[in-house]
Amino acid sequence: MTNKIGIDPNWTWDDDFIFSQAIKADNTVYISGQVALDENGNVVGQDDMKAQTQQVFKNIETILEKCKSSLADIVKITIFTTDMSRLAETHEVRAKLLSEPAPASTAVEVKALMLPQLLIEIEAVALIKD
């Protein structure tokens, strides 16, 4: 039997949505796609890919801390971007935040995200420290 727990980072903006920001299952945490919204639901870094990427990883880190994990424990990320030509900006930020070996990664260009101001969404899978 898998031990499955929903993780709530206590952001009020997501209270009306029917999903978990993350699910902790045994020694793994599966993080829903994170976007550049701060804890109050405000878009961070309008038209600034680096600022949005930093906010996304800040959100991921907040969730991981609730699971006794960290950015260093990420094993897989999936990046959704509205402009693949700006992916190098995202890579510049992630290179400073993620440790080696780099996590397995996928990048996909999408037509739009949940708000028109958003440029990037990242979902992640990480291991949980014992």
Residue ranges of domains in the chain, CATH in brackets: 4-127 (3.30.1330.40)
CA angle, 20 as apex, 54 and 127 as ends, to 5°?
65
Q: What is the pLDDT of residue 2?
A: 67
With both helix axes pointing from N to C terminus, report the angle between 87-97 and 49-66 in degrees, rounded to the nearest 10: 40
Token pair belonging to 96: 């400073």
CA proximity to 34, closest of 108, 109, 98, 119: 119
Q: What would the pLDDT profile of 91-122 be if each residue is shown by its tens digit?
A: 999 999 998 999 999 999 999 999 999 999 99
Among all chains, which residue has been given the structure tokens 């994990």?
A: 69
Sequence-ordered list of residues with C-beta below 8 angstroms from that of 1, at least 6 positions apart, any chain:
none
pLDDT (mean) for 32-47: 95
Q: What is the pLDDT of residue 42?
A: 94
Q: What would the pLDDT profile of 57-77 be if each residue is shown by its tens digit?
A: 999 999 999 988 999 999 999
Question: 20 and 104 in contact (C-beta within 8 Å)?
Answer: no
Q: What is the pLDDT of residue 19?
A: 83
Band the pLDDT of 1: cuts 50, 70, 90: low
CA angle, 22 as apex, 14 and 13 as ends, to 5°?
10
CA angle, 108 as apex, 6 and 43 as ends, to 5°?
60
